[in-house]
Structure 1
């Protein structure tokens, strides 16, 4: 059984009129669970259970009518269970807390405007692995994710308060490190590529709401 739920609640500002000085708040929340089963001569059994969540509130402003600047805070976590015997289960947990700074440049005027953006994120965290079994052991890690990506998208102003924004990942970089707390052992993974959004899904849609309109 696989269940996926994602809600985007981003409060922002985009109108057909001047936007300089307007302020917005908002964020994004996501939750996902998965269950993997195998069927054989011995019957059905679960070989993996996993779940993860993320919550990213943000705040920002328009520096000019074209240039938008925002800051977000990200809290995320995951848990994975893998049975290794009838009475034993290996468990892996990960928790992260960090932030993202982004800028967007909007083109044109009116209710529909495309934009180009740059996102930079720093996401430190920790993870724990429990081996399970009669000789159960716990291994702890310190993690750090660094990401940056260029993206493109559009914003459509429904009225002076509400706006729909769609964002595409176009060119992204991510560097992830994991270091064991008990010994000198570290792994590093670096990803770089086209059509890679290191800060989220390839395409995301948010609903923006202006809580302080621009000065007229």
Structure 2
């Protein structure tokens, strides 16, 4: 995390006098998919309380893109996610996932506050590990997502992104077998992130 904030601080010091989203510029960012959460699960009743365990997760989606036209960028996004769960019996489970997603993003307007639309799809993998039982399974993933919001440009290069997005992830076992079930996860989330155009 320290490295991430150091990189952000470095880019915040870069100021180049040019248009914010003009053709020929590069786009770097964590595009509104950056979040960290930690959750404790408890059961409360008249008979007493019970600790059901805890979940810690981290998600981040670094991006690099190129403005092929004024306000319109295409590029690659690398969604990365990690989750650790511990149940009431201290059994531990870990999930790691990564994908590669081509994306397109369009900014509207010429002001310092620009609405945007963003969409992408791609493929990846997920590994689920039962640490206590030393067992793991691997899954193939297909991911797509769309989002929209506003980019608030703090100067000519750095923008704070605020938006809402929908994402769907389809999971299949890594080893294809007949009648293997698919698992589909979908979510809608409010997101905060950043982007840098140079």
Tell whether the 8 Å contact from 1:52 to 1:79 is kept in structure 2 after alignment: yes
Q: Structure 1, residues 53-79: CA drift from partner, whole Å, max 9, x if none?
A: 223322112111021113222332112
Looking at structure 2, the residues matched to 45 and 185 of structure 1 have their Cα atoms a distance apart, in angstroms, of 38
Looking at structure 2, the residues matched to 17 and 74 of structure 1 have their Cα atoms a distance apart, in angstroms, of 25
Q: Structure 1, residues 19-69: CA drift from partner, whole Å, max 9, x if none?
A: 111113232543222122335688644222211122332211211102111
Larger helix percent: 2
Larger strand percent: 1
- Quote how far apart the aligned CAs of 1:16 are: 5.4
Distance 1:126 1:185, change over 3 A: farther
Tell whether the 8 Å contact from 1:16 to 1:110 is kept in structure 2 after alignment: no
Aligned Cα root-mean-square deviation (Å): 3.4
Looking at structure 1, the residues matched to 82 and 76 of structure 2 have their Cα atoms a distance apart, in angstroms, of 20
Q: Secondary structure at the match of 1:33?
A: strand
Count the aligned residue pairs. 184
Distance 1:178 1:78, change over 3 A: farther
1:35 is aligned to: 40
**Bigger radius of gyration, 1 or 2?**
1
1:169 is aligned to: 165
Query: Structure 2 length as normaliser, TM-score?
Result: 0.72
- Quote how far apart the aligned CAs of 1:187 are: 3.1
Looking at structure 2, the residues matched to 17 and 56 of structure 1 have their Cα atoms a distance apart, in angstroms, of 21
1:205 is aligned to: 192
Show structure 2 runs of 5+ residues with no match: none
Show structure 1 runs of 5+ residues with no match: 1-6
